[in-house]
Amino acid sequence: MPKKIISIVVPVYCEELVVHEFYRRTVETLSVLVVSGNYDYEIIFVNDGSTDGTLQIITELSSNDSRTKVIDLSRNFGHQLAITAGIEHTSGDAVILIDSDLQDPPEVIPRFVAKWEDGFNVVYGVRSERSGETFIKLITAKVFYRVLNSLSTMEIPADTGDFRLMDRKVVDALKSIPEQNRYLRGLIKWIGFQQCGVSYKRDQRYAGETKYSFSKMFHLAFDGITGFSEKPLYIAFQLGVFVSIASFLMMFIYIGQRIVVPSSVVSGWTSTIVLILFLGGVQLISIGIMGLYVGRIYREVRRRPLYLVANKIGFEEESNL
């Protein structure tokens, strides 16, 4: 029987402090699978416009290891598109997505492979513990998944990230989806097939600082919500109807007071200003929600490439696998 190939996709952005250690631990873990005689592997680093020495390090790793390959993007396209670039250049029977910061330990990979061999097409990591993360990060993560699942038509497993294994049939299905605004864990759930979770303890970052700022996480959250739910539009509509009804009721109440008890109506602008500000706020929120969806449509119809590759290293040696 031919060996099954495991492709590891690793997006990197300014991770010169952790790449060596990540490579060491990942190769050490994958070597256990190779020794069994049933598997071989490839590691694909995707350099997402790093401005430090990351590209030089992963290039050196590739020159010393024929199983290690490098995709150098022309600029920083973002985490989700960097992963997409790696996925589209894999050749393995299974593809594993993992970040290089070592918060998701490579030692979990054999457990993913075991579940895959049991017949599951997608095996995702479930964070049972999250070391080194702030209270605010933990709370916002929990709130996000609850909000997303309450708005979405399908349930995305809570406490998960992009750390997962996908069978080749899932990868091929994912490659056929050309969406510009990509929320991969949602797309993979939407594709379907047999999926299961594997619990693990998420470690604190090995070195350096996170490159995922609050604004990037906020943007990803909106991609997840607007990409898999139209409920915000319905909520905006329902809010508009509610405000309209409430406004008419208040109008009749004020008119009635003016007719029945004229002296009870206090002259002034307070109620008028409050109503104007309230109605204006509702209108701006509704327009903003609609603008998010229109923006998604605009990005889709332009049909620009998802990413651009400046250089590829090590792919000419694929036949040696």
Whether the pLDDT of residue 24 is over 90: the answer is: yes
The answer as to whether 223 is a domain residue is no
pLDDT band at 149 (very low <50, low <70, confident <90, very high): low
Same domain, 241 and 310: no
Residue at token pair 């996480």: 217
Same domain, 291 and 309: no
The answer as to whether 218 is a domain residue is no
Same domain, 66 and 172: yes
User: By the 8 A CB rule, do 11 and 52 touch?
Assistant: no
Same domain, 125 and 149: yes
C-alpha 265: how far from chain center: 55
The answer as to whether 170 is a domain residue is yes
Work out the mean pLDDT of the chain and round it to a whole number: 79
CATH code of 172's domain: 3.90.550.10
The pLDDT, as a whole number, for residue 319 is 41
Kindly state the tokens that stand for 8: 């590891």
pLDDT in tens, 55-102: 999 999 999 998 999 999 999 988 889 999 999 999 899 999 999 888
Least confident piece of the model among 47-61, 104-118, 195-209, 211-225: 211-225
Whether the pLDDT of residue 232 is over 80: the answer is: no
Same domain, 49 and 173: yes
Same domain, 46 and 127: yes
The answer as to whether 283 is a domain residue is yes
The answer as to whether 221 is a domain residue is no
The pLDDT, as a whole number, for residue 116 is 92
The pLDDT, as a whole number, for residue 89 is 92
The answer as to whether 312 is a domain residue is yes
Q: What is the arithmetic mean of pLDDT over 210-229?
A: 62
- How many domains is the chain partitioned into structurally? 2
Same domain, 195 and 277: no
Kindly state the tokens that stand for 40: 């071989």
The answer as to whether 220 is a domain residue is no
Task: Report the alpha-carbon distance of residue 19 to residue 84 in Å, rounded.
Answer: 20
User: By the 8 A CB rule, do 7 and 94 touch?
Assistant: yes
The answer as to whether 19 is a domain residue is yes
Neighbours of 21 (CB within 10 A): 13
For residue 280, what are the domain limits?
Answer: 231-302
Q: Comparing 261 with 87, which gets the higher pLDDT?
A: 87
Q: Comparing 116 with 279, which gets the higher pLDDT?
A: 116
Whether the pLDDT of residue 128 is over 90: the answer is: no
The pLDDT, as a whole number, for residue 109 is 92
- To the question of pTM greater than 0.85 for the whole model, the response is no
Same domain, 245 and 150: no
The pLDDT, as a whole number, for residue 320 is 41
Kindly state the tokens that stand for 22: 């990540």
pLDDT band at 318 (very low <50, low <70, confident <90, very high): very low
